[in-house]
Amino acid sequence: MLQLLFSGASPYVRKVRVTLAETGQTDAVELVQVSTSPMKPDPRVLAANPSGRIPALVRPEGPAIYDSRVICRYLAERAPDGPDLYTQSRLWEVLTLEATGDGILDSAVSIVYEKRLRPENLQSQDWMDAQWAKIARALDALNDRWMGHLAGPLNMGTIAVGCALGYLDLRHADREWRRDHDALDDWFAAFSQRQSMLDTAAPV
């Protein structure tokens, strides 16, 4: 049986769990909760992923695989009768949307790490503001240029963006990402009500 090394608060794990739900594979994977961080990685995670990051998917038929993009692609391949998450006719748009969602997450998680893992006197507000500027530009792009794609059928790009926006609500609500992003706000209000999103919401 597949095993997913996970933490309930990880937005990258959430991407995988939403993909599992949307492709009907939730019952095929055992969830193994771990406590890991850049400063103190869990030995079980290190055994599966040398970088010590989650998610990691332990497979009986071969080496563990890791990185949410790799795992989600693998899961989509395992469910040929499920939704077409990587539509060939729009593949580059789907992958670009996924990269945009993951880019938002990379910067958002970096801000959290700066606040949590560095001593207060060493934290750089300029650096955190620069990370948020990346997020703001991505939000502008999604709101102004990508709504037609987001409003289309479910795909890996929409899942990634949905999980990224959910993480902004969880960890950066004070930044008010919805301001000046009305179309994106409306889209996320509907997308966040999918059962897969409701079932994978991080504990508050």
Residues 73 and 94 in one domain: no
The answer to whether residues 33 and 3 touch, using CB atoms and an 8 Å cutoff, is no
Count the domains in the chain.
2
- Which residues are paired to 62 by β-bridges? 59
pTM score of the predicted model? 0.96
pLDDT (0 to 100) of residue 39: 86
Check whether residue 98 and residue 168 sit in a common domain: yes
pLDDT digits (tens, 9 = 90+) for 151-160: 999 999 999 9
Which pLDDT score is estimated for 203?
Answer: 79
Residue-level pLDDT at 36: 86
pLDDT at 8: 87
Question: Which residue positions in the chain have pLDDT lower than 70?
Answer: 204
Does 57 share its domain with 26?
yes
Is residue 54 domain-shared with residue 153, that is, in the same domain?
Answer: no
| Co-location of 103 and 176 in the same domain | yes
pLDDT of 204: 66
* pLDDT score at 37: 83
Q: Cβ neighbours of residue 166 under 8 Å, at least 6 residues apart?
A: 11, 14, 188, 192, 197, 201, 202
- Give domain status of residue 102, yes or no: yes
Residue 83 lies in a domain: no
Identify the CATH number of the domain in which residue 118 sits: 1.20.1050.10
Total Cβ atoms within 10 A of residue 133: 11
Structural domain harbouring 45: 2-78
- Please indicate, yes or no, whether residues 103 and 71 belong to a single structural domain of this protein: no
List CB contacts of 13: < 8 A, sequence separation 6 or more: 4, 6, 7, 54, 55, 68
| 38 shares its domain with 116 | no
Q: What is the pLDDT of residue 169?
A: 97
94 and 193 assigned to the same domain: yes
